[in-house]
Structure 1
Amino acid sequence: MSNDRLIRTDIPHSARIWNFWMGGKDNYDVDRAVGEASLQIDPDIATMAVQSREFLIRAVRYLAREAGIRQFLDIGTGLPTMQNTHEVAQSEAPAAKIVYVDNDPLVLTHARALLNNTTSQGVTTYIDADFHVPEQIVSDAHNILDFTQPIAVMFMGVLGHAHSYQDMLRIVRTVVDSAPSGSYLVLWDGTTESEPYVTLCAEYAKSGGVPYVPRTGDEIRAAFDGLEFVEPGFVSITEWRPEVKDVGDTRPISARGGVARKP
């Protein structure tokens, strides 16, 4: 993987700020400053960060354990924290193949450490690509994944970086259309239901970071058009098959998503 692009430490970066909210250490002063300021605007953002990882864990575990999926394409993966996609999938299916996709130089630097943390039977690798060019992602993924067998395509809280709503749909559909019948789409994103979250995104754009555009629940749900939702459907991520111990203890948040099967 090439990693000759400069890592900017003077401009905040969403993946590093997300890492900060999740309690990670892979962030810089500028990220922590923006992260702290963001918590003043929307205290729920840290909850969203933590709950998004819990949703990933539950969704990947379901796909590997119950749906029999052995191939995962995690697009816009961000910085590694705990219980990453390959760790969850390979704990259920040691031979699972996981392809991470990102084009951030810091993410790609940390990828090298992850590549050593995989099962001997399985595959964990990274593609250096921008999700705005989904055709390249599909082409590169063909070198690793078997596109005659089902694939779980994942967009976990990243599609607000799409240039437009139509661009968001184009990106998702290009990848999903390339996958065979029996594949799954796993997707979530923050919604406009929360005024503090909308304000937070607007303020973040002023900081010099790459803008993140929140969308309505209906707009996010449209990314699943033509697919068959797994129960409980398109819901707040806290309500997607919560662990028994969490039932009744978690509240809905303005982050919605689901898991759906391609017929």
Structure 2
Amino acid sequence: MSSFERFFQPRSIAIVGASQDLASISGQPIAHLKSKGYAGAVLPINPRYEEVAGYRCYPDVASLPEVPDVAVIAVGAKRVPDALNELGRKGCRFAVILSSGFAETGEEGARAQRELTKIARRYDMDVIGPNCQGYMNISDNIHVGFGAPYGMTYSRGAVSVTSQSGAFGNSIVMIANDEGLGFRHYVSTGNESVTTSLDFIDAMIDDTGTHVIAAYVEGFQDARRLMQIGRRALEANKPILVWKVGTSDAGARAAASHTANLGGAMGAV
């Protein structure tokens, strides 16, 4: 990752496709940032509005008064490549794509997702998703995403979590929080078109505030890399807890249909 700290401590966050309906997927990121008292700049983007939730709304990425540290993309799948291109030209380094309709839907969606990967590589961008729910810096109360769990308050601690499934990841954090476990960072990685769970796990090893790393995994694109990362974690005295799903034939089919990650067998690593 280009800058782990800047991703989790952004000075500004743009929301492409922002909605005045704060209950919608494209409105919830703004609602959660506002309710949590985010102190940075919130930059809604939508040509239909002049303001969203009290924030000035901009017609397009080019009109933004600054380069956002993080951009959330919440538009239809066909509009995502153009949005990512615009952000790349603007100089944005992190994009979180909430939109679904990519590799998890079949070959046509997979082709569209490969186009996102090409765009991101062209501009040297870290891209989380598509088909993800967002992320949370629980230590600093910065919640960037959609879903009721992003509006909740969690105990602060030294555990960081990465999950390819937003629903399961959210459940892990909520249940563990009820048991008294504190958290530092959480990220839902979705289809992992560019930035992967392994990238986050690797970066979390170097994060001084993270002492334990947990991961919900449907499949790795490069499973052997986990062994290299595991050795680094051992040297840093930071345990990695991996919940690997999709180890049965039925589970593998479910994982593949969910985020297009092939589940595979435990022995495949």
> Shared topology, TM-score over 0.5?
no
- Structure 1 length normalisation: TM-score? 0.36
- Structure 2 length normalisation: TM-score? 0.35
More strand, by proportion: 2
